[in-house]
Structure formats: C-alpha cells, structure tokens
Amino acid sequence: MELPSKYLMEAVEQFNTLPGIGKKTALRLAVHMLGREKEEVEAFSRAFSKLKENVTFCKECGNISDREICDICSSSRRNRSVICVVEDLRDVLAIENTQQYDGLYHVLGGHISPMDGIGPGDLNIDNLLTRAQNGETEEIVLALSTTMEGDSTNFYLYKKLQPFSVNVSTIARGVAIGDELEYTDEVTLGRSIVNRMPYESSISRKE
C-alpha cells in the first residue's frame, strides 16, 4: 500500500502499533484524524504525553494511581486482611464492578510467560511477599486468568507464599451462572464436578 503522504504513513504506522489494530483499521483511523479540527488532534496527542508523564503506580498494590498510595489502599472502609492478586487494572475494575469484594488488591502487571520473555522478576512479586509478612494480611486470593500462563503464575506465587503464615486461596472456577451445561467446555465442566461443594453453601452464597 503506497500512501501519497509520508506524514499519513507515519500516523498509520503509529496506529498500527496498537494491539488489535491492523493496517486497514489504522488507515481508517488516520484518515479520520485528518478530518478533525486542529485543536481536537492536539488534545488527542496531549492526552498520551500527559498520561505517561503524570500517572504513577501505587507503592502498596502497584495499581495505576495519581497519588503515591491509591484510593483503595488508603481507604479505611476496606478489609485490610485480604489481598486479591490480579494481572492488571482491568481485573481490578472487573472485580470492583461485582461489588462482592471489599479487601485490598495487588496488581502484578502481567503473568509469567517465558514465550514473551516475561519472568517472575518482571512482575510486581517481591512487594507481594513483603505485604504477606506485614502482620495485617491473613488471606491472599489468587485471581489470575484461567489460561496456562495464569495457572503457572498462580502456582509460582503459591509456592513463594508457602513459608508465610497466610492462607492462599484462588477464585472459584466452574460453570458460569446462566450457562447451559451442554454448551460448557469440557475442561470447565470437569473441574466443576471435581470441585463440587455442599449445596447449602451454594445457597448461602447466592443470598
């Protein structure tokens, strides 16, 4: 694809670096940008420079924050004895959305993935081990993705947390609420049979 302008080419290439945006979409977005007012384009550009300059990470949990300690970590209304370990900000938002959890979080910044060259040292793990020994923490809930990499990361963290006097749990995996059995994949269905639980506990959790 030969573009009639090197500036347009540059803009297309930049959009193309974003995850999930291919050449064709990148071109559509760049042409769209060109049709915008100068001030709008400047506001667009500025947002990303400002993001990179100003956003910091909470010293406690590693989540994105504008302050040194994030709102959740500094809140007096959260249960400080439970820490839920997640991969990134989006997982925090998803769990917060359920309104079923009032503990703290710990954001790893990804999962262990040798294929992508991400080892334990690249993740926010040392800080988690420090927090596990702070005397306040009683339970650590591992809530990584249900993928191969997520599972290995769970296992790595579980091993690392063994020496400390904290309970390590993991979020329940099973048939999603509202799902029909026949359409559930066999691995999920298999696990949910193996990990069956007393019926009474399923009722009390619903209420």
Tell me which residues touch a second copy (CB under 8 A): 1-8, 10-11, 13-14, 17-20, 25, 27-34, 36, 38, 40-52, 54-55, 63-66, 70-72, 88-90, 92-93, 96-97
Residue 3 to residue 16: CA distance in whole angstroms: 14
Long-range contacts of 3-11 (CB under 8 A, 24+ apart): 3/27, 8/34
* Nearer Cβ to a second copy (42/136): 42
* Nearer Cβ to a second copy (91/166): 91
User: Least CB distance from residue 2 to a second copy, whole Å?
Assistant: 8
User: Least CB distance from residue 46 to a second copy, whole Å?
Assistant: 7
Q: What phi and psi values does residue 10 have, to the nearest 5 degrees?
A: -60, -45
User: Least CB distance from residue 58 to a second copy, whole Å?
Assistant: 8
* Nearer Cβ to a second copy (105/140): 105
Q: Which residue has the tokens 């004895």?
A: 81
Largest CA distance in the chain: 68
Residue 104 to residue 188: CA distance in whole angstroms: 28
* Nearer Cβ to a second copy (70/104): 70
Alpha helices in the chain (DSSP H): 6-16, 23-34, 38-54, 71-74, 89-98, 126-132, 148-161, 186-194, 199-206
* Nearer Cβ to a second copy (29/189): 29
User: Least CB distance from residue 34 to a second copy, whole Å?
Assistant: 6
User: Least CB distance from residue 3 to a second copy, whole Å?
Assistant: 8
Single-letter residue type at 180: E
